[in-house]
Amino acid sequence: MAEKLTVKKESPEKYQKIIDSAIKVFSKKGFFNAKVADVAKQADVADGTIYLYFKNKDDLLISIFEDSMDFFLSEANAKLTPLSDPKEKLRQFIKLHLDLVSKNQKLASVLQIELRSSHKFMKKYKAEKFFQYLRLVEDLITEGQQKGFYKKALDPHIISRSLFGAIDELALEWVLTKNKRYPIELAANQLFEIFFEGIRQESNRCFEGVAKNQDT
């Protein structure tokens, strides 16, 4: 793994070109049917070049996942850090995740469908990036509980898992459905309302206006 990361730093453009090509190939042919040679051809590099960056096809798929999670976590932190209203933070988190699904449908297809085809990912990979995602949600909920917005009796870990499951299911439907039944923005807004109303502290109404004024 260390060797791959070293090569990535030395040739980031070629690394990214291979990643982008793999997303196109995996989304079109499927991870199981795709070959490393197909990715090399799409990237216009020799087959052996792929193995300078990645151990095998599974490693390439996992790298797509890790890179996409790094990007999402970076975007989420940049968007959420300036906000002080826990309600708005939760809304923006859900919106950002589903916005990225709608704007990057080939990548979404790979993450929602093809990633599950990898035995290594499903059985052996310790998805630290995914745990970072969950911890980010947990932190949002914990902050809201401390500020009196959310019910303190609720477990932030359970909420984070539940929220991810709901977002993941909507993302999967979006990827699989050709004729979209509703805009992704509507799904994000309604999912937010469902979760917020379920976890909110009834006495938090007086806090919402104060937090909004602090953000403006």
CATH superfamily for domain 1-55: Homeodomain-like (1.10.10.60)
Q: What does the alpha-carbon distance between residue 116 and residue 203 come to, in Å, rounded to a whole number?
A: 42
> Which residue(s) pair with 200 in the sheet?
150
Domain with CATH 1.10.10.60 in the chain: 1-55
pLDDT, one tens digit for every residue, the chain (216 residues): 444 444 565 688 899 999 999 999 999 999 999 999 999 999 999 999 999 999 999 889 999 999 999 999 999 999 999 999 999 999 999 999 999 999 998 999 999 888 877 766 666 667 788 999 999 999 999 999 999 999 999 999 999 999 999 999 999 998 888 888 889 999 999 999 999 999 998 765 544 554 555 554
Backbone phi, then psi, for 42, in 5-degree steps?
A: -65, -35
Q: What does the alpha-carbon distance between residue 8 and residue 31 come to, in Å, rounded to a whole number?
A: 22
Tokens (6 digits) for 108: 């979404």
**Assigned CATH for 58-215:** 1.10.357.10
pLDDT at 210: 47
pLDDT at 122: 62
Q: What does the alpha-carbon distance between residue 54 and residue 110 come to, in Å, rounded to a whole number?
A: 17
pLDDT at 6: 43
Domain with CATH 1.10.357.10 in the chain: 58-215
